[in-house]
Amino acid sequence: MSKILPKVASGSAVVWLLAAVFSSIGCNAANPTAPTVRACETNNTARVTFENRSGTGTVYAVVWDGSTVETLGAGVKGEAHTVTAGMPHSLLFKVANSSRHACNISWPNLAQCSSHTFWCTY
Mean pLDDT value across residues 46-66:
97
* Residue 60 in domain: yes
- Per residue in 2-52, pLDDT tens? 444 445 445 554 444 444 444 544 545 566 787 899 999 999 999 999 999
The proportion of the chain whose per-residue pLDDT surpasses 70, expressed as a percent, equals: 75
Instruction: Calculate mean pLDDT across residues 93-112.
Output: 97
The CB density around residue 113, as the number of other CB atoms within 10 Å, is 15
| 17 within some domain | no
Half-sphere exposure of 69 (CA within 13 A, CB side): 20
Does residue 10 lie in a domain region?
no
Domain boundaries, position 49: 39-120
The answer to whether position 20 is within a domain reads: no
Would residue 50 count as lying in a domain? yes
pLDDT at 34: 79
CATH of the domain at 115: 2.60.40.780
Residue 35: the pLDDT is: 85
Please tell me the distance from the alpha carbon of residue 95 to that of residue 26, in angstroms, as a whole number: 60
- Whole-number pLDDT of residue 14: 44
Domain count for the chain, please give it: 1
Residue 122: predicted pLDDT: 80
pTM: 0.70
Contacts of 65 (CB under 8 A, 6+ apart): 89, 90
One-character DSSP codes across 47-86: EEEEEE--SS---EEEEETTEEEEEE-TT-B---EEEESS
